[in-house]
Chain A
Amino acid sequence: MKCDLCGKKDATIHLTEVVNDKVTKLHICEDCAKQKSMEMQSHFGLTDLLSGLMDFGSSIPGGEQGTDTGVKCPVCGMSYLDFQKSGKLGCGKCYETFEKDLGGLLVKIHGSDRHVGKIPFKGGDDLEGQKELQRMRNELNEMVRAEEFEKAALLRDKIRDLEKKLDGQEQ
């Protein structure tokens, strides 16, 4: 079998990727594999290859080629174009910075953009606390609007306590 890419040398690397019913097969020679990506040279694992093989500049769904809005991640300085080229994000903040584009991409990859798995012990505690805090603040607004000032004062104290507690955890 000849290489799918150069059509000259014998294909010695056979890749099959199946995601959500879609089968992609690629038969390539070692030289083309090496050219295709550094990652391929060092690691022929298919899952890792996914990012290397998908030319992030053109074929990856969710990000159109050349989409460069000039927006850069305030933490690591990465642009969406940088990400399209490398297939790798630069830091956790990138997810927030490019949330819209990434959301579409994640749906294409996973069929969803919502995490429903576990929450880390430490971060999870904070997260639950933050959710509770948000709920209490909303409730406080309701009480003030309804002129239930006595109840509101009690709730305000509770909110302050929780805020202090959460601040303590962060440090």
Chain B
Amino acid sequence: MQMNELLSNKSEWLKGNGPDSNIAISTRVRVARNLEGHLFFNRANAEQREKTLLKLQDALARNRFLKGAMSLRMKDVSELDRLFLVERHLMSREHMQDVPHKGLVVGDKEIVSVMLNEEDHIRLQVLQSGFNVMEAWRIVEDIDAELSKKVKFDYSSKFGYLTSCPTNTGTGMRASVMLHLSALVMSGQVDKVFDGISRLGFTMRGFYGEGTEFLGDFFQISNQVALGHSEMEVLDNLERVINKIVAREKEIRQDFLNERKSELMDRISRAYGTLKSARIITSSETIKLLSAVRLGVDLGFVEDMDIPGVNEILLLTQPAHLQKSYNMELGPHDRDVKRADLIREKLNT
């Protein structure tokens, strides 16, 4: 697979075919690992970083679960392409900087990505469409086990996997599910969700737009704790928590349908109308309006769109995707114009 093939690929998270995909957009599980006998990235010099990178690239190239994967050196990737990879959730923003000895391996279906020399030597991530925690973990385990036969991880029987930041020490695992919680937001119950998840050591973050506000009622829920609980305990708890939230969101959506249908339809139709006719639109407005349309699709108000279609526009209207789609560099204002063009084209055909 090549970098320029990605644009025409369907990214895993936008497929919209996983369990509960009307509410759960995607599931992600990642583990952090470091190599024994190699200094952590922040402490290593250029030569040591390079040695770590080469060793890991070699080990991953021989991993039977990563056949046909694309292996990149970040220094060879343009700034625009780096942002493009971030927007596709294949790497972190942190990985865009300090690039000389950083690497990225992306599996052929964009389900698996491995950041090399990020904060930790290895950040292995698996992305699944919808709410699919156990399947994501299964794939992580396969690749992790295979990798651990070829390299030795920094590990202590007391503290577990040793990571650069103590927030990851132990399992090194963070599992998260991206949820679309329009009804919970509208009913003012999102704070209750905060309370609910906190009891089990989970945390809630926003979906990033161009800024970092909580946009479009998208929330990412993930575990915060990595020590004292096994991976399965954490994943099991996460599943329970998400199940509860999804069930509550469904209930309230139904209540709204019964009691506030006109208000809801008005809001969704206006959003859809704006998207179909706007000539200039920012990224954050796009996310907010698409959020309403996404709800409309689920409730059956918007019949000529489907969830994958909404997800696709969410992905393609991000800055780097826009610029790659139109194959030109665009400043903020031009992006807002082209974004509106792209949305109209997608919605009016």
Q: How far is the CA of A111 from the CA of B155 in the complex (A)?
A: 20
Residues of B within 8 A of A145 (CB): none
- In the bound complex, residues from chain B placing their C-beta under 8 Å from that of A127 are 155, 157
Which among B39, B201, B231 is the interface contact of A76 at CB below 8 angstroms?
A: B39
Please tell me which one of the listed residues B169, B211, B225, B231 contacts residue A118 in the complex, with CB atoms under 8 A apart: B231
Residues of B within 8 A of A42 (CB): 93-94, 96-97
CB distance from A74 to the nearest CB of B (A): 12
Within 8 A of A (CB), among B163-180: 163-167, 169-171, 173-174
When distances are taken between beta carbons in the complex, the residues of chain A under 8 Å from B65 are none
A88 touches B164 (CB 8 A): yes
Q: From B162, B212, B214, B230, give the contact of A95 (CB < 8 A).
A: B162
The contact size tier of chain A is 35 or more
Query: Least Cβ distance of A77 to chain B in Å?
Result: 8
A20, chain B: closest CB distance, angstroms: 6
Chain A 23-44 near chain B by CB (<8 Å), digits 1 or 0: 1000000000000000100111
Interface residues in A12-70 (C-beta closer than 8 Å to B):
12-14, 16-23, 39, 42-48, 50-51
Per-position contact with B for A93-123: 1 when CB-CB < 8 Å, else 0?
0011000001001100111111111111111
What does DSSP make chain A's interface, helix, strand, loop or mixed? mixed
A162 beta carbon closer than 8 Å to chain B: no
Q: Is the CB of A51 within 8 A of B167?
A: yes
- Distance in angstroms from B28 CB to nearest chain A CB is 12
Q: Is the CB of A90 within 8 A of B39?
A: yes
Residues of chain B contacted by A47 (CB below 8 angstroms): 167, 174, 203, 205, 222, 224
Given A47-B224, A86-B42: A16 and B171 interface contact (C-beta under 8 Å): no
Given A92-B34, A110-B170, are A21 and B228 neighbors across the interface (CB < 8 Å)?
Answer: no
**A144 within 8 Å of B (CB atoms):** no
* B229: contacting residue among A16, A19, A44, A116, CB under 8 A: A116
Binding site for B on A (CB under 8 A): 12-14, 16-23, 39, 42-48, 50-51, 75-76, 78, 86-92, 95-96, 102, 105-106, 109-124, 127
Q: Which residues of B contact A (CB under 8 A)?
A: 34, 36, 38-40, 42-43, 92-94, 96-97, 119, 145, 148-149, 152-167, 169-171, 173-174, 194, 197-199, 201-206, 208, 211-214, 222, 224-231
Can you name 15 extra interface pairs (CB under 8 A) apart from A12-B212, A122-B152? A18-B198, A18-B204, A44-B212, A45-B205, A48-B92, A76-B43, A88-B42, A90-B42, A92-B155, A95-B159, A95-B169, A106-B227, A115-B157, A115-B161, A120-B152
7 contacts between A and B (CB under 8 A): A20-B198, A42-B94, A48-B94, A87-B165, A109-B225, A110-B170, A112-B229
